[in-house]
Amino acid sequence: MIEFSHLNKTFGDKQVLKDVSGVFERGKTNLIIGTSGTGKSVLLKCLVGIFEPDTGEILYDQRKFNGESNDRKQEIRRDIGMLFQGGALFDSKTVEENVMFPLTILAPTMSKSERLDRVDYCLKRVGLEKAKKLMPSEISGGMAKRVGIARAIVMQSKYLFCDEPNSGLDPLTSHVIDELIKDITHEYNITTVVVTHDMNSVLEIGENIMYMFEGENVWQGAKENILQTTVKPLQDFLFANKLIRDMER
């Protein structure tokens, strides 16, 4: 479980996060939804420690994260895996080396054969055991995301963060990625947080949903309750998405 309270983050004179609080539950796919530019990625990056929030508190299963010493943070980082928007694979390393990389950095005592076994297992889990020796420039966007997922779970992470896992993918591939994220979450009983503005994903994999609007958390609850919302910006968001989906049909 990840709890965070009163997070504020300002860049220059622009306040991007405004007193954001919330809870992400274990064993569930927790979604952050909202229009572009409302600070979803910034929230995610604060949670994983890429940005330091100006104020507020972040707890990973009661363990304090932000503001702690580097060693304390490193303990928690071993449990964090993240899938980035474009996959963010290291372009000078092969698929296999990419998945191996967190192990070499975060688990230096692990033996070489153990590492190779884990990498094999994870690549198989995302269905890419044949792509091992390829370079990131030689694989498709959907494959890059799957490698990104393999890299994110290779440390047997307890927390999985995904920033727009579907952006730039066709609907079919999107669906595959969504299913993979959902299955992994339930299979390993981990806390998964997914940023998305794709309503299909919301309906398919969303369990606990948080809606962000202009840097604020304006609604959080279970998927079943989202349609009854009285929050105006969320109603607009749902309506706009309904229109688009109706048109697609």
Judged by the rule CB under 6 A, the positions of this chain that interact with ligand ADP are 11, 16, 34, 36-42
Q: Which is nearer to another protein, 32 or 89 (CB)?
A: 89
13 binds another protein (CB under 8 A): no
| Cα–Cα distance, 149 to 185 (Å, whole number) | 12
Instruction: Pick the binder of Mg ion from 29, 30, 38, 41 (CB under 5 A).
Output: 41
CB of 42 to ligand ADP, least distance (A): 4
Distances 200 to 72, 78, 130, 242 between C-alpha atoms, Å: 38, 31, 30, 10
Q: Which is nearer to ligand ADP, 37 or 67 (CB)?
A: 37
CB of 167 to Mg ion, least distance (A): 8
Instruction: Pick the binder of another protein from 59, 106, 176, 231 (CB under 8 A).
Output: 106
- Find out whether 24 and 193 touch, Cβ atoms under 8 Å: yes
Detail the DSSP E strand segments found in the chain: 2-11, 14-24, 29-33, 55-60, 63-64, 80-83, 159-163, 191-196, 208-213, 216-222
Q: Which is nearer to another protein, 84 or 219 (CB)?
A: 84
The residues of the shown chain that bind another protein, judged by CB under 8 A, are 45, 48-50, 70, 73-74, 77, 80, 82, 84-86, 88-91, 101-102, 105-106
